[in-house]
Structure 1
Amino acid sequence: MSLKADLTSADLNEIRQSALGAADPLGVAADLANAAEAGRLADPQDAGLALTLAAEIAESRSKLDAALRYVDGALEAYGKRDDSPAAGARALRARILFRTGRGDEAFAEVEPLRPLLTQYPDAAAYITAALAVGGRAREAEKWLTEAVQQVVADRGVTEPSDPDDAGVLFFLLQQRHRLRHALGLQHDTHDNLAERLETKLANAGTRSAAVPADDLVFWPRAEFERLVKQTDAYGASWDDHRARLEHELVRQAGAGRTDLALLPGSVDALTAEAGVGGDPASAENRAAYARKLSTRTVRLPWPPERNAACWCGSGLKYKKCCLPRSRS
């Protein structure tokens, strides 16, 4: 496909929501890279963002050489920036390197990001994902624990009275709690604090709870058509699948959760999660795969604006596509 000229940040966000459901997502990634390199962005400062998005799309399709090339371009565009977007790109590069078997090089990329855990809370998700892909989830848990302890010591408060007052601490507690759940570790005092703060948020109806529901994994049409040959756990048809997701999103929003997002899935990745001889369609494997997806940076924010492109990638407006499914 060919993207329009002078892409804005809003355009890039819309592409993020629809690219994985496009007929040719790798073509979208290539066009994003070309737009960044040819100066076809409304704001040249968005070059790093566009190239990072291209890298995420390529990685999701296991095109790791292309993903690495794109993320290297993103880091060149970011230059000496040390903010959250640049940290996310560096963590993405580490994750790709881990996936290519270059573990030592990957760890050398991600280790300098460790101090950013207490500066940019959203960097925690990127860093954790990279270490988890590299088989170093226990190390990620240690880093998050030490970051939580540092923030507590700096604040001089062991239990904030309100989640909104917790700031960085709450985000770190959420990420750590999510990771420890995936590792099957017993709750400790920090896990208990995370759950108490999440309960306060849910009761206040201000933000989402920490752990995304397992049933928010979204299968783009081409992936779903492969998947439904193995299991109907996600729906008997793509229409049914999208309706289930829309209903669940509406239900969670009605319970007071915000910042909801879908987690795009890959059949190859689901199968790999099961391992040799494992059952990709088992409830245990599907739950483990959803937890892994929840640490990734590729997410589809919900809901779109009524007149924006639908999150499912159909190319239709949300109001003409999946919005009505929540009422069926």
Structure 2
Amino acid sequence: MSLKTDLTSADLNEIRRSALGAADPLGVAAELADAVDAGRLADQADAGYALALAAEIAESRAKFDAALRYVDRAVEAYGTRDDSETGAARALRARILFQTGHDDEAMAELEPLRPLLTRYPDASAYLSSALDIGKRARLAEQWLTEAVQSTLAERDSAEPANAEDAGQLFFLLQQRHRIRHAIGLPHDNHDNLAERLETRLANATAAEAATEHELVFFPQAEFERLRAKWPAATAYGESFDEHRAHLETELVRLAGAGRVGLAVLPGALDGLTGDPAEAKTRAAYARQLAASSRRISWPPERNAACWCGSGNKYKKCCLPRSRG
């Protein structure tokens, strides 16, 4: 297999997904190393990632000598970076060392990585995996437990206040629960917290998805067509003024709740399948629009054209509608 020139990060991600199913995965690993050597990466900062990927492929085929060569180069490419990607490469090196009987070297690689557990959620996955492969699952459980306790102590709260912190802590708790289940340890208070956070995050995701239909925007001509075809479907508003006023109000509310990157999702009657009076139809259509790249960023500048397409300045069009 010959890889293309100027491999991007997206190309490397796709290779990660497909390489093990290739006819010659070890050839793919060699090609990745050659791409680094020949300067065939679109971004040379991806050299560590490409070499770590080559090491993973070789490891999966039990070619540990080649895997170790690749991962040593990956760690060297990352240099003095102190981030999760570097930690993942070093944990991979430890994993390979465990599998070749170099346990002391593996532990010397892992011990300095422990602080990453409280800084990067994904560190809990690759560190616990490495320790598990090294038959140190109980040590993994100890490290994860201490990381959970440290995280909770730093935040001085029994449960995180915002969704981002909740998500990071849940990832850590989830890995801890996986290890504890594997070694037969009983359910404890941290496992109970994991369950509460899982429910909370699921509800937050559902609530966010539920608001997507509130952000579907039909330009005036499309809105009039919609109302003519489905006069009883008033969920998007009785009139175009009501439709855009509702959208502006919802956008202001979401911004006040801390949401960023807000946009309205332009809709069209031809793309709407089913009766919009039904919530499931509106939700499905919102998901369809959210998956596309068509969106109108919000808010515009006060003196810029309004997002609704009226041609008027935002400050004299939809900006005041949320105050009505």
TM-score of the pair, normalised by structure 1: 0.61
Where does 1:75-224 land on structure 2 (aligned, <5 Å)?
Answer: 75-160=75-160, 163-205=163-205
Q: Which residues of structure 2 form unaligned runs of 5+? A: 208-290, 293-324
Q: 1:83 to 1:51 in 2, by over 3 A?
A: same
The SS at the match of 2:40 is coil
Structure 1 residues 77 and 155, CA gap change in structure 2 (3 angstroms): same
**Rounded Cα–Cα distance in structure 2 between residues aligned with 1:77 and 1:161:** 38
CA contact (8 A) 2:59 2:96 kept: yes
Distance in 2 between residues matched to 1:206 and 1:94, nearest whole Å: 39
SS of corresponding position for 2:5: coil
In 2, distance between residues paired with 1:165 and 1:83?
Answer: 18
Moved more, 163-172 or 71-80: 163-172
Q: How many aligned positions are there?
A: 209
Distance 1:198 1:71, change over 3 A: same
Q: Deviations over 1:220-258 (max 9, x none)?
A: xxxxxxxxxxxxxxxxxxxxxxxxxxxxxxxxxxxxxxx
Which residue type is aligned with residue 33 of structure 1? Answer: A
Match of residue 61 from structure 1:
61
Give how far 1:200 is off: 2.4
Deviation at 1:206, TM superposition (A): 5.8
Retained in 1: the 8 A contact 2:51–2:73?
yes
CA distance in 1, matches of 2:17, 2:177: 27
- Distance in 2, matches of 1:91 and 1:195, equals 28
Q: 1:182 is matched by which residue type in structure 2?
A: A
2:171 aligned partner, one-letter code: F
* Amino acid in structure 2 at the alignment position of 1:41: L
Which 4+ residue blocks in structure 1 deviate beyond 6 angstroms?
Answer: none
Structure 1 unaligned regions, length at least 5: 208-304, 307-328
Amino acid corresponding to residue 89 of structure 1 in structure 2: A
Task: Output the CA distance in 1 between the equivalents of 2:99 and 2:206.
Answer: 37
Which amino acid counterpart does residue 54 of structure 1 have in structure 2?
A
- Could you tell me how far apart the structure 2 residues matched to 1:154 and 1:138 are? 24
Query: 8 Å contact 1:163–1:170 — kept in the other structure?
Result: no
3-state SS, counterpart of residue 72 of structure 1: helix
Separation (CA, whole Å) in 2 of partners of 1:206 and 1:177: 24
Inter-partner Cα distance in structure 1 for 2:98 and 2:26? 21
1:196 counterpart letter in structure 2: R
**What letter matches 1:137 in structure 2?**
A
Aligned counterparts of 2:154 and 2:196: Cα–Cα separation in 1: 21
How much has 1:36 moved relative to structure 2? 1.1
Q: Give the whole-Å Cα distance in 1 for the aligned partners of 2:87 and 2:204.
A: 32
Offset at 1:167?
4.2
The one-letter code of the counterpart of 1:171 is: F
TM-score, with structure 2 as normaliser: 0.62
Bigger CA radius of gyration: 2
Q: Confirm or deny: 8 A CA contact 1:162 1:200 kept in the other structure.
A: no
TM alignment of 1:307-318, pairs within 5 A: none
Q: CA deviation at 1:165?
A: 3.8
Provide the aligned C-alpha RMSD in A. Answer: 1.9
CA contact (8 A) 2:75 2:90 kept: yes
Aligned 8 A contact 2:166 2:201 in 1: no
Counterpart residue type for residue 72 of structure 2: D
Structure 1 partner of 2:51: 51
Separation (CA, whole Å) in 1 of partners of 2:161 and 2:187: 21
Describe how 1:15-34 pairs up with structure 2 within 5 A: 15-34=15-34
Name which structure has the greater RCO, CA cutoff 8 Å, separation 6+.
1
Q: How far apart, in 1, do the equivalents of 2:204 and 2:171 lie?
A: 17
Deviation of the 1:139 alpha carbon: 0.3
After TM superposition, give the deviation of residue 160 of structure 1 in Å: 3.0
Q: Provide the rounded CA distance (Å) in 1 between the counterparts of 2:154 and 2:132.
A: 28
Q: CA deviation at 1:161?
A: 5.4
Contact 1:162–1:197 (8 Å) recurs in 2: no
Shift of 1:205: 3.6
Alignment-derived partner of residue 7 in structure 1: 7
Provide, for residues 66-114 of structure 1, a one-character-per-residue CA deviation record: whole Å limited to 9, x for no partner.
Answer: 1111000101110111111000000000000000010011000111101
- Matched-pair contact (CA < 8 Å) for 2:167–2:201: no
Q: Percent same amino acid at aligned positions?
A: 73
2: CA distance, partners of 1:181 / 1:164:
26
- Tell me how far apart the structure 1 counterparts of residues 34 and 206 of structure 2 sit (CA, whole Å): 40
